[in-house]
Amino acid sequence: MADLSLPATAAARVEPRGARPRPALSRRNVILYGTLIVVALYYLLPLYVMVVTSLKGMPEIRLGNIFSPPMEITFQPWVKAWAEACTGLNCDGLSRGFWNSVRITVPSVVISIAIASVNGYALANWRFRGSEVFFAILIFGAFIPYQVMLYPIVILLREIGLYGTLTGLVIVHSIFGMPILTLLFRNYFASVPEELFKAARVDGAGFWGIYLKIMLPMALPIFVVAIILQVTGIWNDFLFGVVYTRPDTYPMTVQLNNIVNSTQGVKEYNVNMAATIITGLVPLVIYFISGKLFVRGIAAGAVKG
Amino acid sequence: MAAQRPSQLFRNLNAKIASIPMILTAVVVFLGGTLWTVVYSFTDSKLLPRLRFVGLDQYERLWSSNRWLVSIENLAIYGILSLVFSLVIGFVLAALLDQKIRFEDTFRTIFLYPFALSFIVTGLVWQWLLNPDLGIASVIRGLGWTSFTFDPLYNADIVIYGILIAGLWQGTGLVMCLMLAGLRGIDEDIWKAARVDGIPMWKTYLFIVIPMMRPVFITTLVLITAGIVKLYDLVVAQTGGGPGIASEVPAKYVYDMMFLAQNLGQGFAASTMMLLTVAIILIPWAYLEFGGKRRG
């Protein structure tokens, strides 16, 4: 690592540049990689156990060890979790919750990003008196425990007749997605060179013209970050789902919890784990596909807490 | 232009129209909703909110409720331990990843993936892993240590540590990422200078790098704390607050009072206490972060 090249002397010129190669099995490397691998195994363990358990039959689970791979692979638990598992009186499995979650997530993501990107753009390029004050309230709002705002929103939704509906939940998600997304877009648009904006104004472009023709196409990467952030966040939400929907409109997380933690009947651990994986699958797939963008999203979204 | 001298109100009209959702959210929901809850926490609302003020009655009842005290104690234990452990583990992992190692991306991907999962999924997986009859404990017994017992989810004294294990598994990846970004921001010359001076690596980290990363630590601290106060889904999924009331937390108290026990006033008082906790943490931070800049 230490790159001490001394170009003046002839001896130095002959010497190879760069770090001195270390033996691959130096003590330092063994400790370093050893620790990392052990920690990585610990982090992977729950995922492994989830998958393995979901592929076993119940007799095998009762006898065996949770780490052992299935002797007989069965997909029955997956089928049951998806289509037959019961929550209360409904016995149509997680599929209902899955489709509810899709119907919640898609419009919430689209609406919250559309609103927040325009807001961020207005805050960055079209400041007006008071705009910063509203923005500050918005950001502080992101830190207020949701519990404080739960009931007032129940009243608001009841007043407009949307309490318990998917539309109501979409509105709630759009509201609570706003602080972090607005911050994300405002910071992005603020970094766009001002000359570009001024040139467009001189050419007679207005608020919407500049947004649609200049800002929007330039901001595509940040849109992807915002989508990742929102899809995982909304898909994983539990609190809003349980407060603002009814059993037939429950999102997937709420339904999953009801299936697994129901006190009736015999516990079927394999079905429970299959259901758990299915619920975690959407954010996991997004995570593994998006890679670095996800990291960027959470670094920005970390503000959400 | 209709008016000869366009009034102040109509300047940037489009921007103002576009900001209406933001303004409504900020003022009506965030500000209005919070004030509403605080005001109603001084009433005796039961099934429906009503404005019959009873002073601090709800708060007195709250602080004499055993369940609330258990919730606070649990949150304190969980909060302090998860702060300490996630900062230490997150920093150590970041420092290990920062040693110019191979497969850095692979390791980072592995450490961070739990963060993509919901607390519900996390709680349910760990509920299964910590199952006293069939989970990890049974595997260890099978290895020959027949008297081994580790059943945090069924033992009221240690249940909160069972939740802590799951919480750390889910959240340390994020801390690691933030710390790694902080470490990457440290000037390479600092390391060179320390090496020239013959300072051992651990000392460089402890006395030079960590003090330099103060802003990163503070931001992380605020983020973790704001997350801890909201602790809810994990408990619901993993233990449901049990055994008994041993793993109750404030956020769950609020939900149960508002939507199950039909005791709105208690829910409002409890959530106002949560707000107060966050404010105590947030206001000094905001002052340091933003107040300082204006002066400088």
Residue A83 has pLDDT above 70, yes or no: yes
- Comparing CB atoms, the residue among B18, B116, B259 nearest residue A284 is B116
Ranges of each domain in chain A: 1-43, 95-304
How high is the pLDDT of residue A20? 62
Size of interface A-B (CB pairs under 8 A): 260
Side chain identity, residue A293 = L
The one-letter amino acid at A236:
N
C-alpha to C-alpha distance for B21 and B18, rounded to whole angstroms: 7
Could you tell me which chain B residue has the CA closest to the CA of A42?
B169
| A11 pLDDT above the threshold of 70 | no
Instruction: State the nearest Cα–Cα gap between B292 and chain A, in angstroms.
Output: 16
Is B116 in contact with A286 (Cβ distance < 8 A)? yes
- CB spacing of A232 vs B116 below 8 angstroms: yes
Residue owning tokens 């509105």? A171
Among B127, B129, B271, the residue with its CB nearest the CB of A148 is B271
Percentage of chain A surpassing pLDDT 70? 89
Task: Provide the shortest C-alpha distance from residue B237 to chain A (in Å).
Answer: 6
**pLDDT at residue B202, as a whole number:** 87
Distance from the B161 Cα atom to the nearest Cα atom in chain A, whole angstroms: 17
| pLDDT value of position B186 | 86
Q: For residue range A85-104, what is the model confidence (pLDDT) as tens digits?
A: 877 777 788 888 999 999 99
How high is the pLDDT of residue A28?
84
CATH of region B65-295: 1.10.3720.10
Tokens of B89: 């583990």
Whether B58 and chain A come into contact, CB under 8 Å, resolves to: no
What's the pLDDT at A305? 35
Quick one: A38 exposed, middle or buried, by C-beta within 10 A (0-12, 13-18, 19+)? exposed
For chain B, the domains span 65-295
Which stretches of chain B score pLDDT less than 70? 1-10, 291-296
Query: For residue range B256-284, what is the model confidence (pLDDT) as tens digits?
Result: 999 999 899 999 999 999 999 888 887 88
Neighbours of A88 (CB within 10 A): 12
- CB-nearest to A144 from B15, B236, B275 is B275
Contacts of B267 in chain A (CB under 8 A): 147, 151
Closest CA in chain B for residue A267:
B128
Contacts of B174 in chain A (CB under 8 A): 298, 302
pLDDT confidence of residue A39: 93
pLDDT in tens, B193-228: 988 988 888 888 888 899 998 888 888 888 888 788
Contact with chain A for residue B126, Cβ under 8 A: yes
**Per-residue model confidence (pLDDT) at position A285:** 93
Q: How far is B109 from chain A (nearest CA, A)?
A: 8
Mutation to test the B interface, candidates A22, A151, A153, most B Cβ within 10 Å: A151
Facing A122 at nearest CB: one of B19, B124, B237: B19
Contact map slice: B 230-249 vs A, CB within 8 A: 230, 232-233, 236-237, 240
Q: Nearest to residue B87, comparing CAs of B221, B212, B203?
A: B221
Query: With an 8 Å Cβ cutoff, is B81 touching chain A?
Result: no
Contact list in B for residue A283 (CB cut-off 8 A) is: 116-118
Q: In this complex, which of B107, B138, B230 lies closest to A146 when CB atoms are compared?
A: B230
Question: Are the beta carbons of B169 and A141 separated by less than 8 Å?
Answer: no
Q: What is the mean pLDDT of chain A?
A: 85
String of DSSP letters for chain B: --SSS--GGGTTHHHHHHTHHHHHIIIIIIIIHHHHHHHHTTB--SSS----B-TTHHHHHHHT-HHHHHHHHHHHHHHHHHHHHHHHHHHHHHHHHTTT-TTHHHHHHHHHHHHHS-HHHHHHHHHHHT-TTTSHHHHHHHTT-TT----GGG-TTTHHHHHHHHHHHHHHHHHHHHHHHHHHTS-HHHHHHHHHTT--HHHIIIIIIHHHTHHHHHHHHHHHHHHHHT--HHHHHHTTT-STTTT--HHHHHHIIIIIS--HHHHHHHHHHHHHHHHHHHHHHHIIIIIHHHH-
Dist. CA A54–CA A71, nearest whole Å: 12
Architecture of domain A95-304: Orthogonal Bundle (1.10)
Q: Which residues of A touch B29 (CB under 8 A)?
A: 141, 149, 152-153, 156, 175
The residue of A143, A239, A269, A282 whose CB has the most chain B CBs within 10 angstroms, and thus the best one to mutate to test that interface, is A143
Mean per-residue pLDDT for A14-42? 79
